[in-house]
Amino acid sequence: MEELVFPAGDEPDYIPISMLNELEYCERCFWLYYVLGAEEVNAPLLEGRLLHRRANTPGVERDGDTLIHRRVYVWSDRLRVSGFADFVEERAGELVPVEFKHGRMGRWLNDHIQVCAQAMCLEERTGEKVDYGQIFYWGSRRRETVKITDELRAKTEAAIRRAFEILASGEIPQPLKRRAKCRDCSLEGICMPREVLRLLEMDEGSG
Ligand code: SF4
């Protein structure tokens, strides 16, 4: 029996924006990180943390015409999310959230959802529209631009709704059946997707 940390009706008021990234990647991952506080510190994770140190230090600096705010706290009362943007850049009156990732751009939308949530929080806080954000991938040394489209906004809001639904259910989501994501997941040793799926199959078979 899995531990219930958020019984139905006892969900948090706000969900950390970074956890939307986990949720979009894998709902079970979201639960393991957020509800159970699971963590497997491996070499890539440690490297990411070390590279992230600068982004974790609050401050402001100027680079030419761009004013760079580091580690900016943002939140949305409408969406019920809060968290930190690694950087918010002010360029010609525009605000641009910039997220720092240590790897390369993946095939999934999880990083985009995180930046979009930051953008929507910034909009709510400032009243200014945010048209795009950026993700700097250390692995490729590239900045990817993320347009904050209506479609991405809708996906982000759906992810937030899903996060609250999962917490309200009080049940850990099942492992993914398509295991492409599991190969890159640092929680695989804790999650044990193959073993858990096998046990679930055996349980169904005996019922
Ligand atoms: S190992 Fe797979 S199923 Fe388990 S948390 Fe990671 S991605 Fe999700």
1 falls in which pLDDT band (50, 70, 90)?
very low
**For residues 10 and 39, what is the distance between their CA atoms, to the nearest angstrom?**
24
In which domain, by residue range, is 112 found? 15-174
Token pair for 171: 């049940």
Q: Looking at the domain assignment, is residue 201 inside a domain?
A: no
Q: Looking at the domain assignment, is residue 118 inside a domain?
A: yes
16 DSSP β-pair partners = 82
**Dist. CA 113 → ligand 1 center (Å):** 19
- Among the atoms of ligand 1, which is closest to the Cα of residue 188? 1
Among residues 35, 10, 40, which one has the least CA distance to residue 173?
A: 35
The DSSP 8-state label assigned to residue 86 in this structure reads E
Q: Looking at the domain assignment, is residue 192 inside a domain?
A: no
Distance of CA 19 to the CA centre of its chain: 4
pLDDT value of position 12: 85
CATH number of the domain enclosing 150: 3.90.320.10
- Among the atoms of ligand 1, which is closest to the Cα of residue 176? 3
pLDDT value of position 207: 63
**For residues 169 and 11, what is the distance between their CA atoms, to the nearest angstrom?**
10
Nearest CA to ligand 1 atom 3: 175
Looking at every residue in the chain, the average pLDDT score rounds to 89
Q: Looking at the domain assignment, is residue 84 inside a domain?
A: yes
pLDDT value of position 135: 96
101-144 pLDDT, tens digit each: 887 777 788 999 999 999 999 999 999 999 999 999 988 889 99
Q: Looking at the domain assignment, is residue 88 inside a domain?
A: yes
Domains in the chain, number: 1
Q: Looking at the domain assignment, is residue 29 inside a domain?
A: yes
**Dist. CA 184 → ligand 1 center (Å):** 9
Q: Which of 24, 28, 198 to mutate to test the pocket of ligand 1 (most atoms within 8 A of CB)?
A: 28
Q: Looking at the domain assignment, is residue 51 inside a domain?
A: yes
Among residues 165, 162, 157, 100, which one has the least CA distance to residue 123?
A: 157
Q: Looking at the domain assignment, is residue 189 inside a domain?
A: no
- Among the atoms of ligand 1, which is closest to the Cα of residue 174? 3
Among residues 168, 164, 130, which one has the least CA distance to residue 147?
A: 130
58-105 pLDDT, tens digit each: 899 999 999 999 999 999 999 999 999 999 999 988 999 999 988 777
Which residues touch 202 (CB under 8 Å, ≥6 apart)? none
Name the amino acid, one letter, at 46: L
